[in-house]
Amino acid sequence: MTAAIATSGLVKTFGATRALDGLDLTVNAGEVHGFLGPNGAGKSTTIRILLGILRADAGSVTVLGGDPWADAVALHRRIAYVPGDVELWPNLTGGEAIDLLGSLRGGLNRRRRDELIERFDLDPSKKGRTYSKGNRQKVAIVAALASDAELLLLDEPTAGLDPLMEVVFQEVIREVKAAGRTVLLSSHILAQVEKLADRISIIRQGRIVQSGTLAEMRHLTRTTVEADTATPVTGLDRLPGVHDAEVSGTRVRLAVDGAHLDGAIKHLTAFGIRALTSHPPTLEELMLRHYGDDLAAGNGTAAARR
């Protein structure tokens, strides 16, 4: 598969802040790639480098086969972008802003524009300054999605949308994917990425700490098991691969490494299982594994500029 985006060793500093610290990111053509990380991890900085709005201090970056700094304009015709903070012109209507951005990119699909305005329930005749954050976001989303761009760079695109609109957004992204276009979707909203992304890269303090399909990542992590047993469970601390076991009366909750799941379940059955739930690690848990030390340290280190 060819890579739509490939960066290697990307470094970007803002004064003393190292926003990107050797970032290696690969996004394959035709995939929806989740770009997950807490605020300040460097998501927006990465996307801006991919757009040639910022220039990397070191490292290499290729977008759609070109250099985003040198070939910015040519690449931009093939890229659509939704910024994290959408600012509109106070005296231009939403409809005008959509058309403006679309035509500056090199034309937009009129029918698709009208359809998207309809689906997102946007009033295009209101002036920019009267829109709420969610509606400003919709303007940027419609402008980006009404184009025929090959690559969509979406920086926390649904941050201001209500749950209903979020569903519409997910539908539209699936259509985009079906059409063979590539999407880089940054978010700290885990459920959204989980639903849409083929592959995920987790960024933390300017570095990709993990990258792969959701299945691959789950393989690396632990399943949570909760059970209700006839007699209180004992002897969990002798089992290999079991973590964070909590027994309270006849209820037990534990996390177990994939390789040791079988042994753990066999151990539990000896106590007479009455109810059993197990679930794969959620992205919250994946994230907590990576940021766990941050939480413990008081969350103080990841405050880099976005």
- Asked if residue 159 binds another protein (CB under 8 A), the reply is no
- Asked if residue 189 binds another protein (CB under 8 A), the reply is no
Paired with 18 in beta bridges are: 13
Q: Which of 76, 177, 204, 218 binds another protein (CB under 8 A)?
A: 76
| CB proximity list for 272: less than 8 A, separation 6 or greater | 229, 230, 231
User: Which one, of 211, 175, 214, 209, lies nearest residue 191 by Cα?
Assistant: 214
Q: Which of 17, 21, 22, 77 binds another protein (CB under 8 A)?
A: 77
Measure CA of the first residue to CA of the last residue in the chain; give whole Å: 30
Question: Minimal distance in Å, beta carbon 269 to another protein?
Answer: 55
- Whose tokens are 């469970």? That residue is 233
Q: Which of 126, 188, 195, 290 binds another protein (CB under 8 A)?
A: 126
Burial of 194-218, coded b for 16+ CB within 10 Å and e otherwise, reads bebbebbbbbbbbbbebbeebeebb
User: Which one, of 218, 213, 220, lies nearest residue 1 by Cα?
Assistant: 213
Binding mask 190-229 vs another protein (x if CB under 8 A, - otherwise)? ----------------------------------------
Q: Which of 9, 11, 24, 85 binds another protein (CB under 8 A)?
A: 85
Touching another protein, residues 25-64 (CB under 8 A):
44, 48, 51, 53-55
Ranges of H-type helices in 179-235:
190-196, 214-219
The stretch among 101-109, 166-174, 219-227, 282-290 that binds another protein (CB under 8 A) is 101-109
- Asked if residue 124 binds another protein (CB under 8 A), the reply is yes
| 244 φ/ψ sector (left φ>0, alpha ψ -120 to 50, else beta) | left
User: 105: part of which helix (H) or strand (E)?
Assistant: helix 94-105
Distance between alpha carbon 92 and the CA centroid of its chain, in Å? 31
Nearer to another protein, 47 or 217 (CB): 47
Site size toward another protein (CB under 8 A) is: 42
Distance CA 287, CA 281 (A): 10
- Asked if residue 152 binds another protein (CB under 8 A), the reply is no
Q: Which of 16, 125, 235, 238 binds another protein (CB under 8 A)?
A: 125
Nearer to another protein, 137 or 211 (CB): 137
- Asked if residue 106 binds another protein (CB under 8 A), the reply is yes
Nearer to another protein, 55 or 174 (CB): 55
The stretch among 18-26, 118-126, 184-192, 249-257 that binds another protein (CB under 8 A) is 118-126
Distance CA 116, CA 101 (A): 15
What is the contact surface with another protein in residues (CB under 8 A)? 44, 48, 51, 53-55, 72-73, 76-77, 79, 81, 83, 85-93, 95-101, 103-106, 124-127, 129-130, 140, 143, 153
